[in-house]
């Protein structure tokens, strides 16, 4: 029974990436189940809520080390705890935002991150006009203070929202300051940096999937759009 909380690090490393990407969805569903007073949830119930196959849910949950009960399902609370442990969401991590522009301030104000164990502490910007301002209760500080504060506060995560051209330079600066993980929102593909994990949020990739599916849809059953495409487009 306690094997579900086993902490052998080697297993955590070996969880398949697609599985890791799905884990947050499970947490969301399970928390809803918990609120409804459920102590257990079956793989088919979870799968149904997420549009997945139950077998995949079982495999994913097996990967985080929780054992279910035949005829009953998986223990909800235990499951949430195990997933959050796998993801390192069990104790919150502080993070700095580099680039207090539109996206950076939006992220800094996003309350949803608290649930993911992410705590944005402050923003940094090279623009003197922005430094000193406060957004969503968080200060915008000058880049000069970055390295010092990373060390003092033991911040490991930096969120990169600078212009594309400044990305490489900012990443190098962050790495040198001791940042261990970079969440890169810029379209710049960073070269690997020794000892630094880089995860990129690639909106272009996401949009590519959307628009290519849309394009092939038009091509396939063109009837729907064909008529509209003939009419001239007007402006607002």
Ligand X SMILES: NC(=O)c1ccc[n+]([C@@H]2O[C@H](COP(=O)([O-])OP(=O)(O)OC[C@H]3O[C@@H](n4cnc5c(N)ncnc54)[C@H](O)[C@@H]3O)[C@@H](O)[C@H]2O)c1
Partner DNA sequence: CTGTATTCGATATACTTTTATCGATATGTG
Partner DNA sequence: CACATATCGATAAAAGTATATCGAATACAG
User: Among the candidate windows 13-21, 28-36, 80-88, 98-106, which touches DNA by CB under 7 A?
Assistant: 13-21
28 binds, among ligand X, DNA, a copy of itself, none (CB under 5 to 8 A by kind): a copy of itself
99 is an interface residue for ligand X by CB under 6 A: yes
CB of 41 to DNA, least distance (A): 7
Q: Toward ligand X, which CB reaches closer, 50 or 218?
A: 50
228 is an interface residue for a copy of itself by CB under 8 A: yes
Q: Toward DNA, which CB reaches closer, 18 or 195?
A: 18
38 binds, among ligand X, a copy of itself, DNA, none (CB under 5 to 8 A by kind): none
Q: Toward a copy of itself, which CB reaches closer, 58 or 200?
A: 200
106 is an interface residue for ligand X by CB under 6 A: yes
Site string for DNA, 42-61 (x = CB under 7 A): xxxx------xxxxx-xx-x
Residue 53 C-alpha from the chain's centroid: 23
Given candidates 62, 67, 214, 226, which one binds a copy of itself under the rule CB under 8 A?
Answer: 214
207 binds, among ligand X, a copy of itself, DNA, none (CB under 5 to 8 A by kind): a copy of itself
Question: Measuring CA to CA, which residue among 70, 159, 69, 86 is closest to residue 123?
Answer: 159
Question: Under 8 Å CB-to-CB from 74, ≥6 apart: which residues?
Answer: 40, 41, 42, 43, 46, 61, 66, 68
């Amino acid at each position: 029974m306690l094997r579900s909380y086993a902490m052998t690090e080697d297993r955590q490393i070996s969880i398949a990436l697609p599985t890791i990407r799905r884990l947050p969805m499970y947490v969301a569903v399970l928390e809803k189940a918990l609120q409804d007073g459920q102590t257990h949830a079956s793989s088919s119930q979870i799968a149904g809520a997420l549009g997945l196959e139950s077998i995949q849910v079982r495999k994913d949950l097996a990967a985080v080390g929780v054992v279910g009960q035949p005829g009953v399902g998986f223990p909800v609370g235990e499951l949430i705890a195990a997933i959050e442990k796998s993801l390192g969401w069990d104790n919150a991590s502080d993070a700095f935002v580099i680039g207090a522009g539109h996206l950076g301030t939006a992220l800094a104000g996003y309350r949803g991150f608290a649930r993911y164990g992410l705590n944005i502490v402050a923003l940094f910007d090279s623009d003197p006009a922005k430094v000193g301002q406060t957004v969503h209760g968080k200060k915008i500080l000058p880049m000069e203070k970055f390295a010092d504060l990373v060390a003092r506060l033991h911040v490991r995560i930096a969120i990169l929202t600078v212009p594309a051209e400044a990305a490489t330079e900012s990443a190098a600066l962050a790495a040198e300051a001791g940042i261990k993980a970079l969440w890169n929102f810029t379209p710049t593909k960073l070269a690997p940096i020794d000892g630094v994990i880089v995860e990129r949020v690639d909106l272009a990739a996401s949009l590519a999937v959307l628009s290519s599916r849309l394009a092939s849809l038009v091509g396939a059953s063109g009837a729907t759009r064909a008529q509209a495409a003939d009419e001239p487009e007007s402006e607002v």
